Copies of this chain bind each other. A is one copy, B any other.
Amino acid sequence: MKIAVDAMGGDHAPASVVGGVVESLREKDPQQAITRIEKYFLVGKPEAIEDEFRKLDCTDGRIEIVPATETVAMDESPTHAVRKKKNSSMSRAIDLVKQGQADAVLSAGNTGALMVGSHLKLRTLEGVDRPGLAALLPSPKNVFVLLDVGGNLEPHTSNLVQYAVMGSIYSRNILAYPRPRVGLVSIGTEDIKGNDKTLETFRLLKQVNINFIGNIDCHELFTDKADVVVTDAFVGNAILKSCESTARTLFFWLKEEIVRSPRAKLGGMLAKPALRAIHKRLDADEYGGAMFLGLNGVCVKAHGASSPKAIRNALRVAAESVGHKMNQQIIAEIREANEKIKSATTQEPALQTAH
C-alpha cells in the first residue's frame, strides 16, 4: 500500500516525521502481507526532507518526495488554511488520497485544518453523515476508544449512533477486541439519566447491531467497563483534555514534592523505573494518534508533539485500517444501522379514527 505523509506537520517537523517513516521502513518484524508498504509519499519542502533522510542515513526505494511550497501553521485558522493554502504539504498529501495515488494520509499538523480539509476533499463514506475523530486512551486493563473528540460540536442523535458503530469497527480492527463494549457518556449510569440528546441516542443505540452496554459516567472511564466511549465533540474534547491535564498536574506535583527533601529525592530516584513505567503506560506516543472515521479514505492525525515512535505507530494504524479494509466494513455496517435508525425514528402510522 501507499501512504501519503504530511512531512511538514507537527511541532518537530520534518525531523520527527521523517524519523518515524525511517523507523517504519526499518521495522524488523516481518510485515504482514496486508499491511506491506510499497510507498511513502513525503510531502513538503524537498531539501528539508532530504536533509533529514540524509541525517538518518536512509535511502529506500519506497520513499518518494512530493514537493509542496506551503506549510499550515499549528495555530492557523482551519478555514484559512484550507482556502488559502492550496499548495500546503497537508493539502497536497490529502490530494494524493483523493486522486487514488495513496491509500491513506497521515499528518501531525493542525487538527482543525486536517479535519476540514480531509472532509472537503475526501467527503464521507456512503451512508455516513459526518466524520468523527476517535482517540485511543489507556486504562489499567485495556485501551479504549473515545469519540467524537473532533469537530462535530452539535451532532444529531443519528450522528452519535454512527460514531458508536464506527468506533466499534475501529476497536475491532485496530485493537482486536472481538465484540467491543460500547458506552454512551452520560451523567450517571442508570438508563434514565441524561439530557434529551443522550436519552434519544440511548434508545437508538439499543436498536443497532453493536454491543451497547448503556450509559457510562465519567468516573468509570478507566474501570474497563467500555471499549468504546461515545459522546459529542464538545464533551469528548472536555474529557480528553481534563484527563491529560490532571495527569500532567499530578506528575508536576510529584516532582515538586520529591525535590522537597533529601529523603524523598532518594525515594524518587529509587522509584524512577516505576515512574517511567507509568509514563510509558500513559504515553500518547504508544497509541498511534487519532483517526478520522467515516471519511472516504483513511486519515490519521498524529499528535502535534509526536516523536518518531509516535509517527511510526500512527503509520501502523493507517496501514492496518487500509489492510483490514475498515472502510468497507463501515459502509456495510452503517447501511444496516441507518435502516435501524430510520425505522426507530419513523412514527408508527396513526390508527385510523373509526367513523
Contacts and interface: CB of A to CB of B under 8 A. Distances in A.
Interface of A: 139-140, 153-154, 185, 187, 194-196, 217-223, 231, 233-235, 237-250, 252-254, 256-258, 260-261, 263-264, 266-275, 277-278, 281-282
Contact of A245 (B194, B220, B254): B220
B267 A246 contact: no
B278 A268 contact: no
A271 B273 contact: no
A248 B310 CA distance: 26
Contacts of A266: 267, 270
A255 B90 CA distance: 43
A218 B219 CA distance: 17
A269 to B, nearest CB: 7
Contacts of A221: 241-242, 245-246
Contact of A187 (B234, B248, B268): B234
A222 B243 contact: no
A278 B257 contact: yes
Centre residue among A187, A217, A222, A252 by max chain B CB count within 10 A:
A187
B261 A274 contact: yes
A112 B199 CA distance: 18
Contacts of A281: 253
A8 B261 CA distance: 43
B267 A274 contact: yes
Contact of A271 (B231, B240, B244, B267): B267
A80 to B, nearest CB: 12
Nearest to A151: B187
Given A153-B195, A250-B247, A238 B185 contact: yes
Given A267-B272, A268-B267, A277-B257, A217 B241 contact: yes
A159 to B, nearest CB: 14
A220 B244 CA distance: 10
Contact of A254 (B243, B249, B258, B278): B278
Nearest to A251: B250
A24 B252 CA distance: 34
Contacts of A277: 257, 260
Nearest to A269: B267
A111 to B, nearest CB: 10
5 contacts: A223-B245, A250-B250, A257-B274, A263-B270, A266-B270
Given A264-B274, A267-B269, A154 B241 contact: no
Given A234-B235, A237-B187, A257 B275 contact: yes
Contacts of A275: 254, 257
A242 B235 CA distance: 11
Given A187-B153, A263-B270, A243 B242 contact: yes
B238 A218 contact: yes
Contacts of A239: 218, 238-239, 242
Given A267-B274, A278-B254, A195 B249 contact: no
Given A187-B153, A238-B239, A250-B250, A260 B274 contact: yes
Contacts of A257: 274-275, 277-278
Nearest to A153: B195
